[in-house]
Structure 1
Amino acid sequence: MKPDVPPLIDASHEEMLAELETLRGMLAEMEKPDCATDGDGVVIMRLCSGLSLAGWEALCNHQDLRDWLALPLSANPLPYLSRIQETLKELVFLSEHDPLTKLYNRGAFERILSAELIRSSRAGQSLALVLFDLDDFKAINDTYGHPCGDRVLETIGALLLAEKRTYDTAARVGGEEFALILPSVGLVRAAMVIERIVAAVRSLKIVCDGVDTPLCITISAGLAITKGKMATTLDKLYALADGALYEAKSGGKDRIVAAPIADLTSPPERTLVRSDEKRFLFTGLTKG
């Protein structure tokens, strides 16, 4: 059964849509050339008679064609160029953000943390990294379903955005794992920020469709600090925060544990605990 055609989409455009889908599939199978280096590449055009900007936007929304750009042959190009600019902004946002929570994704988080560590070392200023993990999140998905789990993740993302300062960075770095980068913050102030977030999560009442009773959840946090007195790598600071998070989980969850200050420690092992131990503690699973 074909999906309903939006009002602005004429049935005569179905052939064009089929061509676009076929071409998209062919391009997806091709090895991507390094166009940024050698300048190779082509612009593929298709004449679409009678298609307006409003019609094109309806097609884009209906078929997820944001990676295709349109320009008129004779009409005023300004609205189309404005739309292309908006599309490029949307694509840049999507490339750096988690689509569910709207927080930075793992790749953007690592890039920002690397830059903040360089700035911290050069300026001799403190930098805090916090790793959060939702407690018993697997049980939420198993009991209430993944849509409810998504609602929980969205709620945590919104809470982190609301609680952080303008120049802090909040990210979703894993399934139910989040991170917060706090520039120019020492151990005491960072602990205060985290305590506030952990308490705010504890007081949440999350309503899921089809679930009679609002959900109450908790979160655990691991904190790592560098004072900027000596260069600290991303791997080292992350490993310290990860180890502190593991201690928070093994110590009863719904709590904060701070790692030793990075400047005063020797380089930690890349993995502080065995992966199967962490998997069991975080998810209750021993395999997979």
Structure 2
Amino acid sequence: MVSNVPQRILLINDEPQLQGRLEEYCAQFRGGPWILTCTTDAAKGLSLLQSGRFLVCLLDFQLDGGKGEELLRTAGGNDCPTPVIFLLNDAHEEAIEAAMEAGAMDYLVKEDITVRMVEHAIRYARKLGDTMSRLRLLATHDALTGLYNRREFERIIAEECLRSTRFGHTFSLVLADIDHFKKVNDTHGHQIGDLVLKHVASLLGGQTRQVDRVCRFGGEEIAIIMVETPRKDAVDVTERLFALLAETPCLVPDKDLTLPVTLSAGVVALPDDASSVEGLVAAADEALYKAKHAGRNRVVTGSGQGKHKFVR
């Protein structure tokens, strides 16, 4: 932990004596200053717990008649943005098991705590929380581009398909492929190919709405799930992205390279082009295939209608 940077600890507990004791401990922790924020209110505690502003939360397991466990589950359990250490009245096996199953990183028995024990638990919980956050990110995101990975794409699009069917919302799928990507790899090497991929991913990810999902579909293919977006609007957005990409080549300063990058894309919508996830992906793949074979650097919709080709 970095010295002189305030380390913020959240305490959710309704015992004034314990609060005072922990405040004294915080003053003795190394690498401070340490700031202890206390609340006795479960609703306020939940809001603070979910804010992500704190290094760690010390949460009373018996809070308000035993609602500490429920509070952590409501905050997300293992996915809670703040690592939690439960404060237990005793070390009964059932309480410890319930605390860990609720998503706690560690536990402390109130009567037994010492300043070094609390400090060690806080540092351990923070380190474990950081590790779990990285693992969660790796489970849902592509390591190279930072986009959602194929597995997360499949989860998101299945969810959107259900929403579309239930509420009658239209959503669109854009399946794009980097033109002549193999040639880039063969000519300049895979490291440059990776730079091109990251360049495209950064541009697409930075120029789409927060509610849309940009995913690495596989290889040099990128999928964009545009929620509550008709196909015509999705085509307009895709063409705008193509135009922006045409103005933004991939620069490789240490090799003095400027690489123009173009995409081909298939744009389809549910329910216009399919009635299922499998059908929608197949329709997007077919439209992309047509865009490739029509000369690349273009958008083709599910109906097979060609769109404007951007020429440098």
- Confirm or deny a common fold (TM above 0.5): yes
Report what 2:296 is aligned to.
Answer: 253
Asked if 1:161 is matched to 2:239, the reply is no
- Structure 1 pair 118/70, CA: closer, same or farther in 2 (3 Å)? closer
Q: Please report how far the alpha carbon of residue 209 of structure 1 lies from its aligned counterpart in structure 2 after TM superposition.
A: 5.2
Q: More strand per residue: 1 or 2?
A: 2
Identity rate of aligned residues, in percent?
38
Report what 1:46 is aligned to.
Answer: none
Q: Please report how far the alpha carbon of residue 86 of structure 1 lies from its aligned counterpart in structure 2 after TM superposition.
A: 1.7
Report what 1:149 is aligned to.
Answer: 193
Per the normalisation by structure 2, the TM-score is: 0.58
Report what 1:120 is aligned to.
Answer: 164
AA aligned opposite 1:233: S
Q: Please report how far the alpha carbon of residue 163 of structure 1 lies from its aligned counterpart in structure 2 after TM superposition.
A: 1.2
Deviation string, structure 1 residues 181-209 (Cα, Å, up to 9, x no partner): 00110122111110011112222221225
Tell me the matched-pair count: 192
Instruction: Return the alpha-carbon distance in structure 1 between the equivalents of residues 184 and 143 of structure 2.
Output: 20
Instruction: Return the alpha-carbon distance in structure 2 between the equivalents of residues 81 and 231 of structure 1.
Output: 47
Which residue of 173, 178, 182 corresponds with 1:138? 182
Instruction: Return the alpha-carbon distance in structure 2 between the equivalents of residues 127 and 205 of structure 1.
Output: 30
SS of residue matched to 1:164: coil
Instruction: Return the alpha-carbon distance in structure 2 between the equivalents of residues 80 and 202 of structure 1.
Output: 48
Which residue of 186, 206, 209 corresponds with 2:230? 186
Instruction: Return the alpha-carbon distance in structure 2 between the equivalents of residues 180 and 170 of structure 1.
Output: 4
Q: Please report how far the alpha carbon of residue 70 of structure 1 lies from its aligned counterpart in structure 2 after TM superposition.
A: 11
Gaps of 5+ in 1: 1-68, 262-288
Q: Please report how far the alpha carbon of residue 233 of structure 1 lies from its aligned counterpart in structure 2 after TM superposition.
A: 1.4
1:144–1:211 CA contact under 8 A, matched in 2: no
SS of residue matched to 1:77: helix
Cα RMSD, aligned residues only: 2.4
Asked if 1:244 is matched to 2:287, the reply is yes
2:173–2:224 CA contact under 8 A, matched in 1: yes
Instruction: Return the alpha-carbon distance in structure 1 between the equivalents of residues 261 and 255 of structure 2.
Output: 15
Q: Which moved more, 1:202-211 or 1:244-253?
A: 202-211
- Structure 1 pair 188/81, CA: closer, same or farther in 2 (3 Å)? same
Q: Which moved more, 1:252-261 or 1:100-109?
A: 252-261
Gaps of 5+ in 2: 1-104, 108-115, 305-312
Per the normalisation by structure 1, the TM-score is: 0.63
Q: Please report how far the alpha carbon of residue 111 of structure 1 lies from its aligned counterpart in structure 2 after TM superposition.
A: 0.6
